[in-house]
Chains A and B, each alone.
Chain A
Amino acid sequence: MQREGSPWQGLGVVFLKETMDHLTSARMIVLELLVALAAVVTLSFATEQIKEVTAEDPFIFLRLFTTSRNQLPSFVVFLSFLVPLMAIGLAFDSVNGEHNRRTMSRILSQPIYRDALLFGKFLAGLVTLSIGLVALWLLVIGLGLIRLGVPPGGEEMARALVFLMVTIAYAGVWLALAMLFSIIFRSAATAALVTLGIWLVLTFIWPAMAPAIAVAILPSDPMTVFTGSQMLARLSPSTLFNEVVVSILNPEIGSVERLLFLSQTRGAVVGAPLPLGESLLIAWPQIVALIATTIALFVAGYVLFQRQEIRA
Chain B
Amino acid sequence: MSEIVIDAQGLTKRYGQATVVDHVTFAVSSGEIFGVLGPNGAGKTTTLLMLLGLSEISDGQARVLGHDPMREPLAVKRRVGYLPDAVGFYDHLSASDNLHYTARLIGISAAERNRRVMTALDRVGLADHSEKRVGTFSRGMRQRLGLAEILMKDVRIAILDEPTSGLDPQATAELLEMIRALKRDGVSVLLSSHLLDRVQSVCDRVALFSTGRIALMGTVAELGREVLGGGFAVEVEAEGTGLAQKLAAVPGVGTVEETSPGRFRLVADRDVRPEAASAVVAAGGRLTRLSVEEASLETVYTRYFQQKAGQLGDTRHAA
Residues of chain A whose beta carbon lies under 8 Å from any beta carbon of chain B: 1, 3-5, 9-10, 13-14, 17, 21, 101-103, 105-113, 309-312
Contacts and interface: CB of A to CB of B under 8 A. Distances in A.
Interface residues of B, number: 34
A3 B49 contact: no
Given A101-B90, A106-B146, A310-B55, A13 B101 contact: yes
B90 A103 contact: yes
B54 A106 contact: no
B97 to A, nearest CB: 9
Q: Is the interface of A mostly helix, strand, loop or mixed?
A: loop
A105 B82 contact: yes
Interface string B47-64: 001001011000000000
B55 A309 contact: yes
Interface of B: 45-46, 49, 52, 54-55, 71-75, 77-78, 80-92, 101-102, 104-107, 146, 149
B91 A101 contact: yes
Contacts of A107: 102, 105
Contacts of A1: 71
B106 A311 contact: no
A82 B285 CA distance: 92
B105 A111 contact: yes
B52 A109 contact: yes
B89 A103 contact: yes
B54 A109 contact: yes
A106 B86 contact: no
Given A101-B91, A102-B88, A109 B71 contact: no
Given A106-B84, A311-B49, A113 B73 contact: yes
Given A106-B82, A109-B54, A110-B105, A311 B45 contact: yes
- Across the A-B interface, give the 6 residue pairs with the lowest CB-CB distance, nearest first: A102-B88, A109-B82, A5-B74, A110-B105, A13-B104, A105-B84
A4 B71 CA distance: 7
A101 B88 contact: yes
Contact of B80 (A103, A109, A311): A109
Given A4-B72, A111-B105, 10 more contacts: A9-B74, A10-B104, A102-B87, A105-B82, A106-B146, A107-B105, A109-B54, A110-B102, A310-B54, A311-B46
A299 to B, nearest CB: 20
A311 B55 contact: yes
B159 to A, nearest CB: 8
A26 to B, nearest CB: 10
A265 B273 CA distance: 104
B112 to A, nearest CB: 16
14 contacts: A4-B75, A5-B74, A10-B104, A13-B104, A101-B91, A103-B89, A106-B102, A106-B146, A109-B52, A109-B54, A110-B77, A112-B77, A311-B55, A312-B85
A4 B90 CA distance: 29
Given A102-B84, A109-B80, A310 B90 contact: no
Contacts of A102: 84, 86-88
Contacts of B107: 9-10, 111
Nearest to B52: A109
A108 B89 contact: no
A21 B92 CA distance: 9
Q: Which of B49, B88, B101 has the most CB of A within 10 A?
A: B88
Contacts of A5: 72, 74-75
Contacts of B106: 110-111
A105 B73 CA distance: 14
A13 B105 contact: yes
Contacts of A13: 101, 104-105
A103 B88 CA distance: 5
Contact of A3 (B73, B84, B90): B73
A312 B75 CA distance: 25
Contacts of A109: 52, 54, 77, 80-82, 84
Given A13-B101, A105-B54, A106-B146, A3 B88 contact: no
A29 to B, nearest CB: 14
Contacts of B102: 106-107, 110
Contacts of A4: 71-75
A312 B49 CA distance: 12
Contacts of A113: 73-74
